[in-house]
Amino acid sequence: MGLAPPDDAAVYQVTPDTAVVLTVDFFAPLVDDPYDFGAIAAANAMSDVYAMGGEVALALNVAAFPEDMPEEVVARVLEGGADKVAEAGGVLAGGHTIIDREPKYGLCVMGFVHPQKVLTKAGARPGDRLVLTKPVGTGIVTTAARNGEAWPHHLRAAVGWMKVLNRHAMHLARQLQAHAVTDITGFGLMGHAWEIAEQSNVRLRIWASRVPVLPGALEYARKGIFPGGGHRNLSYYGPRVDVSPQVTEEVRLLMFDPQTSGGLLMAVPESLPSLPAGEHLWEIGDVVEGEGVELLP
């Protein structure tokens, strides 16, 4: 399982009650602070294990650093990653670093899941409720910061959310008996929602006004700040999403904004009485018969 592109990670059954979950992800810095960069890259890499319902066991650093990069900066990146792996309850067992002009960092992550308890994108059913666990807008806010146009407190909020592990969100998905789960990353909320619709043969309806948004993201989108990956998402997923004419342009952009270390999107049974209080859970829509994604105001 998991060897096809739409899955979040590869899953390999070892015994009747144990399967290995394997994934790798790394990228160039999206924030200036080396510790935050390391922590975000690690949380992002481990997210695909959680999206499949696994727990992190083992991780390896995958890194590239310029020859003249100060040693203490390199150490801070690796420290940020190591702290996140420790928080996940995993073991960081070395890794591989090469010399490159542009720094890059991430992890190869191995986790475990019970073969009968793998969470996939394929199980959403008409009637299910859609729940999201983090606000969107990290692509827009970090792009604004790179342009020198973001307020520091807006960037701090985005960084704080990107560093949050999806581990507890996965525990909540189990508790809520989720039928389908994925993590929101590069394809944006609309792209990943479409993957669930496609894999489950259903239609997802999402109300934009119910989607949690990072502070500042709408303001920057209104100024036309939108990352390159967002334009690619618009051209690929745009035709697959029916956007209500009442949705404003900046809100529409935000729904396609590529996320780094975004939250989990899950389809949970409608019969659940109410979502547990005090958790980061936003009910943003539902599942109906049909295909594709509908974005409502």
Count of residues touching Co ion (by CB under 5 A): 6
212 φψ region: left (φ > 0), alpha (ψ -120 to 50), beta (else): beta
- The stretch near Co ion (CB under 5 A) out of 45-53, 72-80, 144-152, 287-295 is 45-53
Task: Find the part of the chain contacting Co ion (CB under 5 A) among 7-15, 241-249, 250-258, 287-295.
Answer: 7-15
Residues 140-169 within binding reach of Co ion (CB under 5 A): 168
* Residues within window 171-190 making contact with Co ion, judged by CB under 5 A: 171, 183
**Does 128 contact Co ion by CB under 5 A?**
no
CB of 223 to Co ion, least distance (A): 29
Among 48, 195, 250, 286, binds Co ion (CB under 5 A): 48
Nearer to Co ion, 156 or 168 (CB): 168
Q: Which two tokens stand for residue 239?
A: 């035709």
Is residue 280 at the binding interface for Co ion, with CB under 5 A as the rule?
A: no
Please, which residue, 26 or 151, has the CB nearer to Co ion?
Answer: 26
Longest CA span, the chain = 58
Q: Does 25 bind Co ion (CB under 5 A)?
A: no
Question: Could you please report the per-residue DSSP string of the chain?
Answer: ---STTSSSEEEEEETTEEEEEEEEEE--SSS-HHHHHHHHHHHHHHHHHHTT-EEEEEEEEEEE-TTS-HHHHHHHHHHHHHHHHHTT-EEEEEEEEE-SS-EEEEEEEEEE-GGG---SS---TTPEEEE-S-B-HHHHHHHHHTT-S-HHHHHHHHHHHTS-SHHHHHHHHHTT-SEEEE--TTHHHHHHHHHHHHHT-EEEEEGGGS-B-TTHHHHHHTT---HHHHHHHHHHGGGEEE-TTS-HHHHHHHH---SS--EEEEE-TT---PPTTSS-EEEEEEESSSSEEEE-
Residue closer to Co ion, measured from CB, 6 or 215: 6
In the complex, minimum distance from the CB of residue 53 to Co ion, in angstroms, rounded to a whole number: 12
Smallest distance from Co ion to CB 134, Å: 13
Which residue, 48 or 257, has its beta carbon nearer to Co ion? 48
**Residue span binding Co ion (CB under 5 A) among the ranges 41-49, 94-102, 108-116, 254-262:** 41-49
Question: Which range touches Co ion (CB under 5 A), out of 27-35, 49-57, 158-166, 196-204?
Answer: 49-57
Query: Any contact of residue 222 with Co ion (CB under 5 A)?
Result: no
Nearer to Co ion, 57 or 218 (CB): 57
From 8, 128, 195, 257, residue interacting with Co ion (rule: CB under 5 A): 8
Where along the sequence are the contacts to Co ion (CB under 5 A)? 8, 48, 51, 168, 171, 183
